[in-house]
Amino acid sequence: MKASFAILSILLLIFISSCADETSEEKEKKRPNIVFIMSDDHAYQAISAYNDKLIQTPNIDRLANEGMLFTNASVTNSICAPSRAVILTGKHSHINGKIDNLTPFDTTNVTFPQILQKAGYQTAMFGKLHFGNNPKGFDEFKILPGQGDYYNPKFITQKGDTTIQGYVTDITTDLTLDWMEKRRDTTKPFLLMYLHKAPHRSWLPAKRHYTEFAKKTFPLPETLFDDYANRGTAAATAEMNILKHMTYNYDNKVYPEIIEELGIKDRELNNPIERMTSEQRASWDSIYGPINADFKKRYPNMNDSTLMVWKYQRYMQDYLGTIAAVDENVGRVLDYLDEEGLTENTLVVYTSDQGFYLGEHGWFDKRFMYDESFTTPLLIRWPHEIAPHTTSDEMVQNLDFAQTFLEAAGVNAPDNMQGESLMPLLKGETEKWDRDAVYYHYYEYPAEHAVKRHYGIATEDFKLIHFYFDVDEWELYDRKKDPMEMNNVYDDPAYADTVTEMKEKLTAIREKYNDSDALSEQYIDIYKDKGLIE
């Protein structure tokens, strides 16, 4: 009797514990996978879900068709490594300390992948990080050193460095799919950071795309010939004008001997086409050779305006050519999720580390708080939670990712993260979202492209910017009446009340995020210590 009671008790215990196991397994299944896809310098103007006048991106667009398109997503500091630090920490640059591409990332910062890893997520990162140090909180990573290379790139891995022959966008995807297929534990949720180098300068497309894109011509942006009137010193002195600052050899792919023959003055940069194998180079020359020959013939009769148009077209052909490979490869990853039945409960993000100028204001590059570099593309799909074909016009930022992912995974976010979870917006509960302004602060100056230090605030209607350090200039833009930001109305008496109101809001938001002039001074001192300024 006693024995059968004991057996019964044991059986009961086994039953209870197996029930408990089942529920935790069930729970595990409910936690979403997170696939964070980010490219580098991908302008929203070059995604057909936003605008199809430049390129078709059917695979990236799938995320909007099957999920949510954000029309008003921005970054807090429009430059590569700082944006990545904001994304990983959920804190503004002045708090996480990664203010520019030069200072190393402070690895005592807590990042959301570290928190997810502790919470039982599998974590992997492939592609471009650009931190100068390796990421913490990842089971596996294979990352490009610094900016990385388009052709035959080197990767940093946990087992040492390796060079892989081929094209970076394809290789980054191969590594990603390989991890998902072979080394992922299918019983656990995962965080995958799949980070493209493209379409970063100097825009080297894959063979299949330069062959196609080198023949195309693109519509000119309305402000290609901007003369920077009605704005401050910063716009006029920035060195990112396509005609004046884009290089012939490195950017526009004109051969050095032709530059010399034509007597063109060009800034010499280390040309990455030198990395190509002879076979890759021969194929490249079969397309770029005739372009060079044609340019040589036409150059003597070109003026500033025809030259600007020629350089813009060359720029777009290569820039957009690199995006075509990103789009195809995003398609490969989305197809894999479909095939494995993972689509329904995987939160997929597509974004860029910041926006980019595609000839607007005559520019390339980013850095400014003006629209094309402040705005970043953002598309999110998660069929389990997000209705298809939805759009959000709310002001969201790269600052919000960390808390969004933590909430999606059912993990508490640390109190000192500064963003807001996008979960209410994803679920269509817009009434729970009440942000009415976002904050911005850019630091990397003096530096390449000469964009002055500035901070500012944007509301739906206005943008107020303060340029400081070697100037003390304010700019106000009426976002509704002047979406191209061609007129600084800061001194216009009609906007006097708006200036007062926006300045009050700016003071309040700086207090909220703990930014101050004293901190700005400290970050200037770092440049002094490094001898970058006197």
Residues in contact with Ca ion by the rule CB under 5 A: 40-41, 80, 353
Minimum distance between the CB of residue 42 and ligand SGN, rounded to whole angstroms? 10
Minimum distance between the CB of residue 202 and ligand SGN, rounded to whole angstroms? 5
Give me the residue whose beta carbon is nearest to Ca ion. 80
Q: Which of the choices ligand SGN, Ca ion, none does residue 66 contact, using the CB cut-off of 5 to 8 A by kind?
A: none
Residue closer to ligand SGN (CB basis): 202 or 418: 202
Minimum distance between the CB of residue 59 and ligand SGN, rounded to whole angstroms? 23
Q: What are phi and psi of 506, to 5 degrees?
A: -65, -45
> What is d(CA 92, CA 516) in angstroms, rounded to the nearest whole number?
12
**Residue whose C-alpha is closest to residue 326's, from 114, 13, 55:** 55
Minimum distance between the CB of residue 493 and Ca ion, rounded to whole angstroms? 39
Contacts 24+ apart (CB under 8 A), 430-437: 430/392, 430/394, 433/394, 435/394, 435/395, 435/396, 436/395, 436/460, 437/395, 437/505, 437/509
Q: Judge contact between 206 and 169, C-beta under 8 A.
A: yes
Residue closer to ligand SGN (CB basis): 79 or 234: 79
Q: Which of the choices Ca ion, ligand SGN, none does residue 365 contact, using the CB cut-off of 5 to 8 A by kind?
A: ligand SGN
Q: What are phi and psi of 167, to 5 degrees?
A: -105, 130
Residue closer to Ca ion (CB basis): 104 or 290: 104
Q: Judge contact between 50 and 207, C-beta under 8 A.
A: no
Angle at which helix 304-339 crosses helix 168-178, to 10 degrees, equals 10
Q: Which of the choices Ca ion, ligand SGN, none does residue 202 contact, using the CB cut-off of 5 to 8 A by kind?
A: ligand SGN
Give the sheet arrangement for strand 346-352, strand by strand: 160-163, 154-157, 140-144, 122-128, 190-195, 33-39, 346-352, 378-381, 68-70, 390-392
Minimum distance between the CB of residue 366 and Ca ion, rounded to whole angstroms? 7
Residue closer to Ca ion (CB basis): 80 or 409: 80
The residues near 101 (Cβ < 8 Å, ≥ 6 apart) are 79, 80, 81, 82, 130, 444
* DSSP three-state, residue 347: strand
Residue closer to ligand SGN (CB basis): 353 or 371: 353
Residue closer to Ca ion (CB basis): 41 or 226: 41
Minimum distance between the CB of residue 218 and ligand SGN, rounded to whole angstroms? 20
Q: Which of the choices ligand SGN, Ca ion, none does residue 196 contact, using the CB cut-off of 5 to 8 A by kind?
A: none
Minimum distance between the CB of residue 407 and ligand SGN, rounded to whole angstroms? 29
Give me the residue whose beta carbon is nearest to ligand SGN. 80
**Encoded amino acid at 498, one letter:** T
* DSSP three-state, residue 163: strand
Minimum distance between the CB of residue 530 and ligand SGN, rounded to whole angstroms? 17
> What is d(CA 429, CA 394) in angstroms, rounded to the nearest whole number?
12
Alpha-helical segments (H) within 344-474: 371-374, 401-408, 423-426
Tokens of 300: 């003597």
Residue closer to ligand SGN (CB basis): 131 or 218: 131
The residues near 116 (Cβ < 8 Å, ≥ 6 apart) are 34, 123, 137, 191, 405, 406, 409, 411
Q: Which of the choices ligand SGN, Ca ion, none does residue 269 contact, using the CB cut-off of 5 to 8 A by kind?
A: ligand SGN
Minimum distance between the CB of residue 449 and Ca ion, rounded to whole angstroms? 12
Q: Judge contact between 67 and 74, C-beta under 8 A.
A: no
Q: What are phi and psi of 369, to 5 degrees?
A: -80, 0
Residue closer to Ca ion (CB basis): 352 or 418: 352
Q: Judge contact between 111 and 88, C-beta under 8 A.
A: yes
Minimum distance between the CB of residue 146 and ligand SGN, rounded to whole angstroms? 8
Residue closer to ligand SGN (CB basis): 280 or 373: 373
Dihedral (CA of 91, 94, 95, 101) sign: positive
Residue closer to ligand SGN (CB basis): 38 or 337: 38
Tokens of 293: 């020959």
Q: Which of the choices ligand SGN, Ca ion, none does residue 101 contact, using the CB cut-off of 5 to 8 A by kind?
A: ligand SGN
Minimum distance between the CB of residue 483 and Ca ion, rounded to whole angstroms? 23
Name the residues that contact ligand SGN, by CB under 6 A.
40-41, 79-80, 101, 130, 147, 200-202, 269, 365, 448-449
Per DSSP, 459 falls in state -
Residue closer to ligand SGN (CB basis): 257 or 448: 448
Q: What are phi and psi of 453, to 5 degrees?
A: -60, 135
